[in-house]
């Protein structure tokens, strides 16, 4: 048995899970939020016991030290000393075109992560900070990097390259990279197990505040809706998804927006929030049920965009065996699932509305009898996927 500490460092947060492998037992979990701000909070959970404490947390080093103290606490801790942690698995959002698999961290790996700061300015810097802090706190533990982009390295060049001068692809590595790869990999593996079919064609639909959809053929990503950055594709909580590039030029040239203002508009003020004033789908569903036409339109637009990608990816793979809904919205919104699967008879996609309404935290099939395509709701578990890959690397 080996204990794997999973670290997910954000700009002002640090999430963690301590997982015992290969039994996959979650020994402890939680997060520190509002790092560097007033009233930072540490949430710590062991079994059915949950603790929340306000702390002064000036940086990620203090946050991880506080987590470590809880893990080794004589009353609520789960380990006696740091040496009981065999490896620390780090989620790193952008690996560029360098990293196609999970890798042990060394100086060269850290430098490559740093070189990709410009590709993921909100994510890679805190990811690297988490690595550096963990190296100091856990000197005897293996440090492992698991990249969100790695799963999408199998996307063929005909899908990954943009139709701009080739030098931008060859010299500047401007291409589709994709995101949410750890989630898409985890749920697609579960779907393949459910199908009991090696030569599978799966469309994985990750719907949360950030959204993406992936065509997975024979267990490999072959196309994906997010690209060079995490703003295109599906309509998201505050991000626009696909938009005509001419709109950007119009905002800058005719309306006087700066490029930064356009970036803020597309990343933080668009999507469901821009359409309705709400970024949380639960609020939008509630308002739509009360007759708010704009909220209903936003949900219709959201589902319509997903349906377009399903059609495209079914064409790319010459068929589809299963749709997979995952992440917060995908797992919990029966309304969105119903809108997406409506009028898809041509593809053999038929939803059982009663099964769709059932709430459960386990994998479940919700297709109607006679549906040619399996419709699966699979709770994602990125932390477990990171633990599995880290364990495989150090074993």
pLDDT higher at 114 or 39: 114
pLDDT of the residue at 225: 97
Q: Are 2-147 and 195-377 the same fold in CATH?
A: yes
Among residues 48, 148, 244, 264, which one is catalytic?
148
Which tens digit of pLDDT belongs to each residue from 251-263?
999 999 999 999 9
The sheet that has 220-224: what strands, in order across it? Answer: 220-224, 211-217, 201-207, 322-326, 374-377, 364-365
Give the residue ranges of the annotated binding site for substrate: 91
Q: Which two tokens stand for residue 150?
A: 């790695």
For the residues 179-201, what does the mean pLDDT come to? 92
Give the residue ranges of the annotated binding site for Mg(2+): 8, 382
| Distance between CA atoms of residues 232 and 326, nearest Å | 19
For the residues 269-290, what does the mean pLDDT come to? 93
pLDDT of the residue at 12: 72
Give the residue ranges of the annotated binding site: 8, 15, 91, 206-210, 280-282, 328-332, 382
pLDDT of the residue at 140: 92
| Distance between CA atoms of residues 322 and 351, nearest Å | 12
Statement: residue 27 has pLDDT above 70: yes
Please enumerate in sequence order all residues whose Cβ is within 8 A of that of 106, keeping only pairs 6 or more positions apart, or say none.
Answer: none
The strand pair at 2-9 and 85-92 is best described as parallel
- Range in 12-21, 195-204, 313-322, 342-351 with the lowest mean pLDDT: 12-21
| Distance between CA atoms of residues 382 and 384, nearest Å | 5
Q: Under the phi-then-psi rule, with left for phi > 0, alpha for psi from -120 to 50, and beta for the rest, what region is 327?
A: left
Q: What is the pTM of this model?
A: 0.88
pLDDT of the residue at 82: 87
What value does the mean pLDDT of the chain take? 92
> pLDDT-based confidence at 324, cuts 50/70/90?
very high
> pLDDT-based confidence at 353, cuts 50/70/90?
very high
Just give the CATH number of 2-147: 3.30.420.40
Statement: residue 177 has pLDDT above 80: yes
> pLDDT-based confidence at 97, cuts 50/70/90?
confident
Report the share of the chain in percent with pLDDT over 90: 67
Nearest to 210 by CA among 151, 281, 308, 143: 281
| Distance between CA atoms of residues 143 and 137, nearest Å | 11
Which residues on neighbouring strands pair with residue 9, listed in sequence order? 14
Which residues on neighbouring strands pair with residue 5, listed in sequence order? 18, 88
Domain extents in the chain:
2-147, 195-377
Give the chain's end-to-end CA distance (angstroms, integer). Answer: 10
Just give the CATH number of 195-377: 3.30.420.40
DSSP 62-97: HHHHHHHHHHT-TTT-S-SSGGGEEEEEEEES--TT
Statement: residue 11 has pLDDT above 90: no
> Are 27 and 78 within 8 A, CB to CB?
yes
pLDDT of the residue at 121: 74
The sheet that has 2-9: what strands, in order across it? Answer: 49-55, 40-46, 25-33, 13-21, 2-9, 85-92, 142-147, 103-104
| Distance between CA atoms of residues 151 and 180, nearest Å | 9
Give the residue ranges of the annotated binding site for ATP: 15, 206-210, 280-282, 328-332
Statement: residue 118 has pLDDT above 70: yes
Give how far Cα 316 sits from Cα of 171, 176, 342, 348, 367, Å.
28, 16, 21, 17, 23
> pLDDT-based confidence at 120, cuts 50/70/90?
confident
Statement: residue 341 has pLDDT above 80: yes
pLDDT higher at 12 or 377: 377
Report the share of the chain in percent with pLDDT over 70: 100
Which tens digit of pLDDT belongs to each residue from 366-384?
999 999 999 999 998 888 9
pLDDT higher at 210 or 244: 244
pLDDT of the residue at 1: 86
223 an active-site residue? no
For the residues 159-186, what does the mean pLDDT come to? 93
pLDDT of the residue at 372: 96
pLDDT higher at 292 or 137: 292
């Amino acid at each position: 048995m080996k204990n794997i500490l999973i670290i997910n460092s954000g700009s002002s947060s640090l999430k963690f899970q301590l997982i015992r492998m290969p039994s996959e037992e979650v020994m402890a979990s939680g997060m520190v939020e509002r790092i560097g701000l007033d009233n930072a909070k540490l949430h710590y959970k062991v079994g059915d016991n949950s603790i929340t404490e306000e702390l002064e947390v000036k940086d990620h080093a203090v946050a991880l030290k506080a987590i470590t103290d809880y893990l080794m606490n004589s009353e609520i801790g789960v380990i006696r000393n740091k040496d009981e942690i065999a490896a620390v698995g780090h989620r790193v959002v952008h690996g560029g075109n360098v990293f196609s698999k999970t890798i042990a961290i060394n100086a060269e790996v850290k430098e490559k992560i740093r070189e990709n700061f410009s590709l993921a300015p909100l994510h890679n810097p805190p990811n690297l900070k988490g690595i550096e802090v963990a190296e100091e706190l856990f000197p005897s533990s293996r440090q492992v990097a698991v990249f969100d982009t790695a799963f999408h390295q199998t996307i063929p060049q005909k899908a990954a390259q943009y139709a701009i001068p080739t030098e931008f692809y060859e010299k500047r590595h401007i291409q589709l990279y994709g995101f949410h790869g750890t989630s898409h990999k985890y749920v697609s593996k579960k779907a393949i197990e459910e199908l009991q079919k090696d030569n599978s064609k799966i469309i994985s639909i990750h719907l949360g505040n950030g959204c993406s959809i992936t065509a997975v053929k024979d267990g490999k990503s072959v196309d994906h809706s997010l690209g060079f950055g995490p703003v295109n594709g599906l309509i998201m909580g505050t991000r626009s998804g696909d938009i005509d590039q001419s709109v950007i030029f119009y905002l800058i040239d005719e309306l006087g927006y700066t490029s930064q203002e356009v970036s803020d508009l597309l990343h933080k003020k668009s999507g469901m929030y821009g359409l309705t004033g709400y970024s949380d789908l639960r609020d939008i569903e509630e308002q739509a049920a009360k007759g708010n036409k704009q909220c209903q339109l936003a949900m219709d637009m959201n589902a319509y965009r997903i349906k377009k990608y399903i059609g495209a990816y079914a064409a790319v793979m010459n068929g589809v065996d299963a749709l997979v809904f995952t992440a917060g919205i995908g797992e919990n919104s029966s309304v969105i699932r119903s809108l997406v699967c409506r009028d898809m008879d041509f593809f053999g996609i038929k939803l059982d509305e009663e099964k769709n309404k059932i709430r459960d935290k386990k994998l479940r099939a919700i297709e109607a009898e006679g549906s040619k395509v399996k419709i699966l709701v699979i709770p994602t578990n990125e932390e477990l996927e990171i633990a599995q890959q880290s364990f495989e690397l150090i074993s």
